[in-house]
Amino acid sequence: MSPAGYSDPALFGYETDAPLRRSAQICVHTSPLATLGGKDAGGMNVYVRELACHLARLGLPTDVFTRRTSPDTPEVTPLCPGVSVVAVAAGPPEPVDKNDLFPLLPEFAANMVRYALREGVRYDIVHAHYWLSGWAAHLARSSKASWSAPFVQMFHTTAHMKNAVAGAADREPALRLDTERLLPNLADGLISANPDERDDLVLRFGTPAAKVCTVPPGVDLELFHPRDRGAARATLGLPGDEPLVLFVGRVDPIKGIDTLLDAVPLLARNDDLPRKPTVLFVGGDLDAAGEPTGPLASVAERATARGVTDRFRFVGSQPQERLPLFYAAADVVAVPSRYESFGLVAVEAMACGIPVVASRVGGLLFTVEDGASGLLVPPQDPAALAEGLALVLVDDICRRRLAAGALRSAERFAWPGVAAAIHRVYGRLAAGQRAELCGDEEIYG
């Protein structure tokens, strides 16, 4: 199947002055079509999917390149009108750990370039997600039949940020650290998801400030909006009167699940709470019998070791269309992450009018206004997390006030505005502007 057609008037777009005719998004290690909530599929997948589809709505057809992980995947899969996901052969057509993908990038880049040649498509802007894709974009520019379009890099997280909060076993390899140091020079521009990330790129990597634009990810307000709590609980088969803390996320140490596990016994012992709260845990895998398996099994074991197994309800990962039900059913959403570049779950919950108690880290510092649209607590501090959750659960007035603030606050991140901001950044790059990448894109504040 051929890629989605260009909008009029010209086939290649180079017959007109319009500098932006088609974009390429590179997402080597994970696909926007992947099931969310597993180890490596979460916010970035959602981001790439939503960005691509909103760019297409703005008149910018987009191809998303990802590594082929199954021989059965068609080369081109339509994602939404104007957007195709292109499965690129690189290494075996099976899942490969992302730490082993770097040596496959030359093949990936060569096949990506070949695809474009074969299909007769050219790109005016290339947007690379994560460090592996940045390197693939760089290689695509260095190849014989090279791409000449400007490329914009988005790290989503950097190894430096991740290592700052990772345990010894989860540290990122030197190769990633080194490559991330090179990419700001190789890219024509960088998009940071929050102002701290921009400062990090500028101060630590020495990236010229004019090359970096902060544009946060968006949230789908058509999907995430307030719904009736009772009806949501009835649909999910949950009791109507149980205090409910919701966790949604990948089962990854960075999500601070250990902090949540340690906070739950404290919550269960809190005398201010007339009923012990339950944690509804969305993410990870269940086996055929509905029991946690893989990394989620270890979360369940740790809950058992703490004597709070009855306080957890593991429902596995859920299709995103179902998540509004889970948010609506909750009294509060816990986001205990050690680090978040943005933290989509927090903003989705806020858009549903549910207060969040989140770690004071990364993007959450800018999306959650402490005391106005949620509560921020120190990361890796179970007592502080338990206290924050208890406050929201006990104090009805506080909960309502935060819920109203959350709703207002989430509106800033509506996708149409976010995509338009990215489109303007692309436009400047495609027009050859390098002096100042960012205009009035600032959405925080």
Residues that bind ligand UDP (CB under 6 A): 36-37, 42-44, 46, 248-250, 282-283, 317-318, 320, 323, 342-345, 348
Burial class from Cβ neighbours inside 10 Å (0-12, 13-18, 19+) for residue 30 reads: buried
Reduced to 3 states (helix: H, G, I; strand: E, B; else coil), residue 282 is: strand
Q: Residue written as tokens 């009855």?
A: 310
CB closer to ligand UDP out of 171 and 400 = 171
In the structure, how many helices (H) and strands (E) does the chain have? 15, 16
Q: Which is nearer to ligand UDP, 111 or 409 (CB)?
A: 409
User: Which CB atom, from 197 or from 348, has the smaller least distance to ligand UDP?
Assistant: 348
Phi, psi of 312 (to 5 degrees): -115, 140
Range 260-270 burial, b when 16+ CB lie within 10 A, else e? bbbbbbbbbeb
User: What's the rounded Cα separation, in Å, for the pair 150 and 188?
Assistant: 6
Give CA–CA dist 277/7, Å, rounded: 53
Complex with ligand UDP: residue 214 or 317, whichever CB lies closer: 317
Instruction: State which residue, 207 or 320, has the beta carbon closest to ligand UDP.
Output: 320
Residue nearer to ligand UDP on the CB measure, 309 or 318: 318
Rounded Cα gap, residues 193 and 179, in angstroms: 19
Q: How far is the CB of 318 from ligand UDP (least distance, A)?
A: 4
Q: Least distance from C-beta 91 to ligand UDP, angstroms?
A: 24
Closest to 55 (Cα-Cα) out of 28, 82, 88, 35: 82
The alpha-helical segments, DSSP class H, found in 238-381 are 257-268, 295-305, 323-329, 344-351, 364-367
Residue 325 CB, nearest distance to ligand UDP (Å)?
A: 12
Residue 121 or 296: the one with the smaller Cβ distance to ligand UDP is 296
Q: How far is the CB of 345 from ligand UDP (least distance, A)?
A: 4
Beta-sheet pairing, 278-282 with 312-316: parallel
Output 123 or 131, the one with its CB closest to ligand UDP. 131
Q: For the CB of residue 107, give the shortest distance to ligand UDP in the complex, in Å.
A: 27
- At 398, list the tokens: 């506080």
The enclosing H or E element of 392 equals helix 382-394
Both tokens of 18, joined, read: 């319009």
Residue 85, both tokens? 């996901």
Q: Which two tokens stand for residue 297?
A: 């099994």
In the bound state with ligand UDP, the residue whose beta carbon lies nearer, of 351 and 390, is 351
Q: How far is the CB of 323 from ligand UDP (least distance, A)?
A: 5
* Min CB(260)–ligand UDP separation in Å: 14
Instruction: Provide the minimum distance between the beta carbon of 51 and ligand UDP in the complex, in angstroms, as a whole number.
Output: 13
Cβ 317 to ligand UDP shortest distance, Å? 3
Shortest distance (Å) from residue 286 CB to ligand UDP = 11
Spatial separation of the C-alpha atoms in residues 136 and 106, rounded to whole Å: 7
Specify the residue, 344 or 386, whose C-beta has the smaller distance to ligand UDP: 344
Minimum CB distance to ligand UDP, residue 42 (Å): 2
Q: How far is CA 123 from CA 26, 147, 333, in A?
A: 12, 8, 41
Cβ burial of 17 (10 Å; 0-12, 13-18, 19+) is: exposed
For residue 156, is it left (φ>0), alpha (ψ between -120 and 50) or beta? left
Alpha-carbon distance of 12 to 5, in angstroms, equals 10
212/350 with CB nearer ligand UDP: 350
